[in-house]
Amino acid sequence: MSITPDMITFAEELFAPLGAISTRKMMGGLAIYQDGVIFASLDSDGTVYLKAKGDFADQLATEGSNQFQTHRGPMGYWTLPEAALDAPEIACDWARKALDAL
């Protein structure tokens, strides 16, 4: 499955409270940026990931988030906590934490 226009709209609406964001299709998924900085991605299955490492990754793990895995091992992206998927304000709180951690 590939990224559809509806998936792009979902990402834009989810992170709309952040202000101006941009998106770009990359490697079968969608990269999500604010001010040219990638802070999140959306895979072709519709899973939203936040870029995270260190303490921020630990916070996400505590919330039940899962780290993105490839055949080469774990990557620096964690799933957006479940409670944030239908709540743009909560999603943006997490996004701000991701941006601050970068």
Q: Is the pLDDT of residue 28 over 90?
A: no
**Termini Cα distance of the chain:** 30
Domain ranges, residue 55:
5-101
Average pLDDT estimate for 2-25: 95
CB 97 within 8 A of CB 54: no
Q: pLDDT of 38-83, one tens digit each?
A: 999 999 999 999 999 999 999 999 999 999 988 898 899 999 999 9
The neighbouring-strand residues paired with 33 are: 22, 38
- How many domains does one find in the chain? 1
- The CATH number given to whatever domain includes residue 88 is 3.30.1460.30
* Residues sharing a CB contact under 8 Å with residue 13, sequence separation 6 or more, in sequence order: 88
pLDDT at 1: 66
| pLDDT band (50, 70, 90) for residue 27 | confident
